[in-house]
């Protein structure tokens, strides 16, 4: 082995050892236990963060389907809320912030990270939907938000996925993709980035997963950055149910 090769090998071992030592001694984010949410909403104010979350604790399924369906729907939504709060705390790693972290982030001057969760309700003759908006501010250049919708069949109480709405064998993703690409430029207005629209509306379930029925409209929500720059904000695409009648199951037409 040449002298240079030997020196290089030793240096590599030293670097690898340093990385392994750092990984072994770096404090891990504190584990967040499973949450039991209160009936009147969740609120928490800590030295470095504020959390406020509103969520449904009862649904029309209680009277239209029965207590079991209502309890299942509420539990599904509360699991999302609890997981979102837990993830926010874990990502913040608040228990392990160093003095340098606190100073750099301005936390010593009263700044705080923020999590806010709110919801709206929409309905149609055969469904009820809960539309959650989650806003986070982790003290970066700007805050961010995302949607999460839950749609339930008011006859069976079932939580509906996108595929549940359409007749078997139909190319519903291709139809939604085509309609979105045709309609979104007019929805967004101003300067439109057709590349972003194309990338955010490929015929995949993930792009159309935040949906609900609002009377005679089928509505799809797109987070910021999904189909337009952050400055354009989130986007709401409304498609008249009549335009989907050929592919929707009869009960959702």
Q: How many whole angstroms separate alpha carbon 214 and alpha carbon 58?
A: 19
Q: What is the mean pLDDT of residues 32-57?
A: 89
pTM of the model: 0.84
Q: What is the mean pLDDT of residues 223-234?
A: 95
Is the model's pLDDT at 18 over the cut of 60?
A: no
Q: What is the mean pLDDT of residues 6-21?
A: 42
Query: Average pLDDT over the chain, rounded to whole?
Result: 89
Is the model's pLDDT at 29 over the cut of 60?
A: no
Length of the chain: 253
Sheet containing 127-137: give its strands across: 42-46, 49-53, 113-124, 127-137, 144-153
* 41-77: burial string, b at 16+ Cβ within 10 Å, e else: ebeeeeebbebebebbeebebbeebeeebbebbbeeb
pLDDT in tens, 157-188: 999 999 999 999 999 999 999 999 999 999 99
Position 77 scores a pLDDT of: 98
Could you give the domains of the chain? Answer: 31-160 (3.30.565.40), 162-253 (3.90.640)
């Amino acid at each position: 082995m040449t002298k240079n090769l030997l020196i290089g090998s030793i240096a590599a071992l030293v670097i690898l050892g340093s990385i392994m030592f750092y990984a072994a001694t770096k404090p891990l984010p504190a584990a967040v236990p499973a949450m039991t949410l209160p009936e009147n909403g969740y609120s928490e104010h800590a030295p470095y963060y504020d959390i406020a979350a509103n969520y449904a604790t009862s649904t029309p399924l209680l009277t239209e389907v029965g207590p079991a369906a209502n309890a299942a729907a509420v539990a599904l939504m509360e699991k999302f809320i609890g997981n979102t709060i837990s993830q926010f705390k874990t990502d913040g790693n608040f228990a392990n912030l160093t003095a340098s972290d606190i100073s750099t982030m301005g936390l010593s001057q009263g700044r705080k990270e923020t999590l806010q969760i709110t919801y709206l309700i929409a309905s149609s003759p055969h469904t009820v939907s809960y539309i959650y908006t989650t806003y986070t501010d982790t003290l970066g250049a700007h805050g961010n938000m995302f949607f999460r919708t839950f749609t339930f069949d008011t006859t069976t109480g079932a939580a509906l996925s996108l595929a549940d709405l359409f007749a078997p064998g139909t190319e519903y993703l291709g139809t939604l993709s085509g309609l979105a690409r045709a309609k979104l430029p007019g929805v967004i207005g101003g300067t439109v980035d057709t590349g972003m629209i194309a990338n955010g509306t490929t015929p995949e379930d993930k792009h159309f997963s935040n949906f609900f029925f609002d009377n005679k409209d089928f509505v799809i929500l797109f987070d910021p950055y999904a189909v337009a720059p952050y400055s354009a904000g989130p986007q709401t695409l409304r498609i008249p149910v009549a335009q989907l009648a050929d592919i929707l199951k009869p009960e959702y037409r």
